[in-house]
Amino acid sequence: MKTIVITLIISLVATHSYIVAQDNPQSTLSKLESNDTTRFFVQQKKDTLDLSSNLATISSKSDTTKIKFGKKLLTVIDRGNNTSVEITSIGKDKNENIDWNNEFWNRKSNKGFEPHWAGVELGLTGLLSGSKSNSLKGDAAIMDLNSGKSINFNLNFLEYAVPFAHQHLGVVTGMGLEVSNFRLSSNIGLIKNDVGVTVADSSYIKSGINLSKSKLTMTYLSIPLLMEFQVPSGHKRFYVSAGVIGGVKLGSHTKVVYQDGGQKQKDKNRNDYNLATLRYGFHARVGYKFINLYATYYPVALFEKDKGPEVYPFNVGLVLLGF
């Protein structure tokens, strides 16, 4: 890994005419030109590699390599599976640390602070009444759920962080898709009545049809704004974050499944069902290594005011895969 890092550093330096490589019996220097980029590759034959010129000096012994050019000093330290690079301005105390992991040469654009937003999440979704009770009564009773089959799925595909406070604290944002499946426990569907209010569809009951499944599915684009704290900093460390999530509705539909004449039937209807177009929620995340949990509560009602039952959604679950 250290050889790869040194090779790429030499490539950058050579491309900008910082190094004029000299013949060295302990290494081979090959040149590859592709488009407008010129790269130099170094193959070490012994533990010591020395290349020097009037503009730059490279020395390597054992697991440490120092590269000096101008007023900059680069120190490469090989620690097995992890290689670190330190760039220091000679004569100054300021330095910049860059981490290199496994077989990848990726500079941490956020200087060591890795946010915990992007990934795949799976959990349960539920509804609370206007009084913040999980017991739905009155008009809200039509949204009584089969809790064990009401699923929340999130695909957070973009993240960005602004770290500060010695890389232990940062602001995190990004984007994601949130899909919630509300599995209704009653033998009803949902429909908009003549005045445009979302109500129970009791036509199945009147027809003597017993529904084996009835659900409302909705998809939102989510944009978080979170404050994350890490101890110590890094992607596989203990972290906790909290903040708000904004959402824009992308689509919604209902689906009912039943038996009719011995045949399985499915009725799927796409409609907005008066679901809130814009919303925000309070969000929290906590994790350590492979154990990561999330929770979200939306103080914005599921349906628009006076156009459906007054219920408030929430999600809790696990992060299955972090990007």
Q: How confident is the model at residue 184 (pLDDT cuts 50, 70, 90)?
A: very high
Comparing 51 with 317, the larger pLDDT belongs to 317
Q: What pLDDT score does 89 carry?
A: 65
Would you place residue 256 in the very low, low, confident or very high pLDDT band (cuts 50, 70, 90)?
Answer: very high
Joined together, the tokens standing for residue 198 give 């979302």
Q: Which helix (H) or strand (E) holds 150?
A: none
Q: How many whole angstroms separate alpha carbon 16 and alpha carbon 82? A: 27
Looking at the structure, tell me whether residues 68 and 204 fall in a common domain: no
pLDDT of residue 302: 98
Q: Is 85 helix (H, G, I), strand (E, B) or coil?
A: strand
Is 107 part of a structural domain of the chain?
no
- Whole-number pLDDT of residue 323: 80
Q: What is the pLDDT of residue 87?
A: 66
111 found inside a domain: no
**Which structural domain, as residue segments, surrounds residue 93?**
2-101
pLDDT in tens, 10-22: 554 444 433 333 3
Is residue 1 over pLDDT 90?
no
Q: Are residues 134 and 9 in the same domain?
A: no
Q: pLDDT: is 75 or 149 the higher one?
A: 149
Is residue 170 over pLDDT 60?
Answer: yes
Looking at the structure, tell me whether residues 9 and 92 fall in a common domain: yes
Question: CA–CA separation, 36 vs 288, rounded Å?
Answer: 44
Nearest CA among 227, 271, 226, 225 for reference residue 249 = 271
Same domain assignment for residues 172 and 279: yes
How far, rounded to the nearest angstrom, does the alpha carbon of residue 231 sit from its chain's CA centroid? 19
Query: What residue type is 30 in one-letter code?
Result: S
Q: Tell whether the model's pLDDT for residue 254 goes beyond 80.
A: yes
Query: Mind giving me the DSSP string for 37-63?
Result: EEEEEEEESSS-EEEE-SSEEEEEETT
Shared domain check, 95 and 145: no
Does residue 108 sit within a domain?
Answer: no
User: Residue 158: its pLDDT value, please?
Assistant: 95
**Domains held by the chain: number:** 2
204: enclosing H helix or E strand: helix 203-206
Q: Are residues 176 and 246 in the same domain?
A: yes
pLDDT at 64: 72
Q: Is the peptide bond before 313 cis (omega within 30 degrees of 0)?
A: no
As a whole number of angstroms, the distance between CA 199 and CA 176 comes to 30
Which pLDDT belongs to residue 261? 80
Which range (147-156, 223-232, 235-244, 292-301) has the least confidence?
235-244
> Three-state SS for 15?
helix
Does residue 42 surpass a pLDDT of 50?
no
Give the predicted TM-score (pTM) of the model. Answer: 0.65
What is the predicted pLDDT for the residue at 237? 81
Q: Out of 138-142, 179-183, 277-281, 282-286, which region has the weakest mean confidence (pLDDT)?
A: 138-142
Residues paired with residue 173 on neighbouring β-strands, in sequence order? 160, 225
Q: Is the pLDDT of residue 224 over 60?
A: yes
Mean pLDDT value across the chain: 78
- Please tell me the predicted confidence (pLDDT) of residue 53: 44
